[in-house]
Amino acid sequence: MGDLGEMLAQARAHVAQFHPAGFTIGWNVGEAGGQHVFHAHMHVICRFEDEPQTGRGLRDFVLR
């Protein structure tokens, strides 16, 4: 947990070349939360102003 800020900074630097307008962060924790491999990782999804789900969160992004 203490390295979360650094992980996000590294992810942001990695995807900066795509010039996203924002990000959606997903982190599955526990079996009930959808975690199937029990290790720490997060999903960083670049978001762009011209995409169909602009302004909506992870649930809308994944389910549509």
The architecture (CATH level 2) of 4-63 comes to: 2-Layer Sandwich (3.30)
- What average pLDDT is seen over the chain? 83
CA dihedral 56, 35, 5, 53 (to 10 degrees): -10
Write down the pLDDT at residue 63.
58
Write down the pLDDT at residue 21.
93
In the chain, what are the domain boundaries? 4-63
Residue 60 has pLDDT above 80, yes or no: no
- 25-17-45 Cα angle (round to 5): 15
Weakest mean pLDDT among 4-8, 30-34, 43-47, 53-57: 53-57
Which tokens in the block code for residue 59?
A: 């649930």
- pLDDT bin (cut points 50, 70, 90) of residue 25 is confident
